[in-house]
Structures are given as structure tokens and as C-alpha cells.
Amino acid sequence: MRIIVCLKQVPDTNEVRINQETGTLIRDGVPSIMNPDDKNALEEALKIKDECGAELIAVSMGPPQAKDVLKEALAMGADEGVLISDRAFGGSDTWATATIISAAIEKIGNYDIVFCGRQAIDGDTAQVGPEIAEFLNVPQVTYVKDVKVKGDKLEVVRYTEYGEYVFEASTPVLLTAIKELNNPRYPAIKGIIEAYGDKGEEKIRVFGINDLNVDPTQIGLKGSPTNVYKSFVPVKNKVSEIIEGKSSKDKAITIVMKLSELNLI
């Protein structure tokens, strides 16, 4: 079995700041991490590898520093990394990003499962996984909270606010992981030493625009069908009030009176 896991390097969200004049993210000095849902996708792929044997290839599209998430994946147990990086890819929206990542996946070839996270904590659209599935023309199951390999098929549990759905999926298939899927492992010391040394470097291939079968008019800022009109952090203007009272009943009465004064009940 061959599993490809898509990992996005994202800024640590607690640290995200926006340049109020340009509306762009301030990335300087902001620590980067592997997108949390992607770590769950990676962990599940590693579990399948541990239980059934599989070749696991981690893929990330981004600037050269995105290699760090691939090294982290190697340290956790991935066999190989592919960094998709080229100036021509800059400014890509989700459509163009998925176009480029699916071209890379097609170049890697012979995959059984493509694993993505449900959503990236910076872009937050949850579009890239489903778009990759469409471009590759493979079925998809999103919001996955459990996967079992059953012969040449998968039993996949999809979690929604209304309940759980159990699907039987044939491969190749694209799955998007949610945090309920598992608890990602910590890499072993040996894995860390190898991944961040020469061995790790040798295991990472870099794909640029000339390596991929993509139409240059469909990628980058110019090839993106959507554009960001404005980015801003919403101003928080919530005012909290602690309701005092001798008993719960007194407090409840006060709350009801206040809500009634505001015509809310």
C-alpha cells in the first residue's frame, strides 16, 4: 500500500498578526508548525503502516522552510518527503493550490490513499482536500474519525454533528482527518537524529514548476479564480458582567430582569 499525506506548514495561530495597512499576515518572527489536522492524518497513515505495511510519502507545498514539516514527518516515521516549491506557485488560491498538489500526487503515482487534514488553521477553508480528490478523479470521505483496512477496502467512519456514517471505500481514495481520529505520536530520538541530518535531507525531493504537468495559466496569483479582498482581525467588543446574588434563584431572577429590560426575552 502507498499512502500520500498532505501536510501544510502554518503559523502558530495564537501568534498571528495582520498588517492593518496591507491586510496581509505578518509572518516575520512567527513560529511555524505542522497543521494540527494534518498531524492526525499523518498519525493514521503511520498506524496503517505499522499494522499492514505501507510506503508513506509526506507532501508539502510552500516556501523552502516548509521542508521543516517534512522533516518532522520523517522523524515520526514517513519514508519520503516531497516539497512542492517554486516562485511560480506563490499567490495561489485553494483551487490553484489543489491543482499543483494533485499534479505532484500524479507524478508520485501508484497511491492507494491520499490523506489530508480537514482544514488548515490559517486559511481555514477546508477546500483543498476535496478539490484534490476532484482533480485526481478519486472518491473522497471527509471528516474521518476512524479507518480500518479490510482486505483491499477501507472501512471509514465519517463524523458529523448529526451522527456518524460508516462507509466502505475502495482505493484509491482521499480522506480528510479530524482531531478525533487519534493522538499523534511523539517522534523517537533516533527518528529525529536521522530526519534532521543528512539522511533526512536525502529523503526529500523538491518539485518545481518544470517537474509538474501543470498549465502555468491555472496557478499562482494570475491563475487563481478567487482573490482576497480584505483581511482583518474582528474587533472584540463583548462586555461581560458577573451577576451577584445570595442564591442561584436570586441570580436567575436578576438575569431574567436584565434580559427583559433589553427586550431579549
Ligand X SMILES: Cc1cc2nc3c(=O)[nH]c(=O)nc-3n(C[C@H](O)[C@H](O)[C@H](O)COP(=O)(O)OP(=O)(O)OC[C@H]3O[C@@H](n4cnc5c(N)ncnc54)[C@H](O)[C@@H]3O)c2cc1C
Considering only residues 36 through 65, tell me which ones interact with ligand X, judged by CB under 6 A.
37-38, 59-62
The helix (H) or strand (E) run that includes residue 68 is helix 67-76
Span near ligand X by CB under 6 A; candidates 47-55, 121-129, 202-210, 241-249: 121-129
Residue 77 or 115: the one with the smaller Cβ distance to ligand X is 115
Q: Does 93 bind ligand X (CB under 6 A)?
A: yes
Q: Does 85 bind ligand X (CB under 6 A)?
A: no
Taking the alpha carbons at both ends of the chain, their separation in whole angstroms is: 59
CB 139 within 8 A of CB 174: yes
CB 146 within 8 A of CB 156: yes
Q: Does 3 bind ligand X (CB under 6 A)?
A: no
Q: Does 32 bind ligand X (CB under 6 A)?
A: no
Q: Does 104 bind ligand X (CB under 6 A)?
A: no
Considering only residues 216 through 235, tell me which ones interact with ligand X, judged by CB under 6 A.
221, 224, 226-228
Size of the site for ligand X (CB under 6 A): 34
Reading the block at residue 120, the C-alpha cell is: 488548515
Reading the block at residue 62, the C-alpha cell is: 510552500
Given 4, 8, 32, 212, the residue binding ligand X (CB under 6 A): 8
Encoded amino acid at 54, one letter: A
Q: Does 97 bind ligand X (CB under 6 A)?
A: yes
Residues 6+ apart with CB under 8 A from 91: 220, 221, 222, 224
Reading the block at residue 231, the C-alpha cell is: 483581511
Span near ligand X by CB under 6 A; candidates 43-51, 114-122, 187-195, 204-212: 114-122
Given 51, 124, 134, 180, the residue binding ligand X (CB under 6 A): 124
75: nearest Cα among 183, 193, 201, 202: 193
* Dihedral angle over CA of 253, 256, 262, 263, nearest 10: -140
Q: Does 252 bind ligand X (CB under 6 A)?
A: no
Considering only residues 197 through 216, tell me which ones interact with ligand X, judged by CB under 6 A.
none
Q: Which residues bind ligand X (CB under 6 A)?
A: 6-8, 35, 37-38, 59-62, 90-94, 97, 101, 116-117, 119-120, 122-129, 221, 224, 226-228
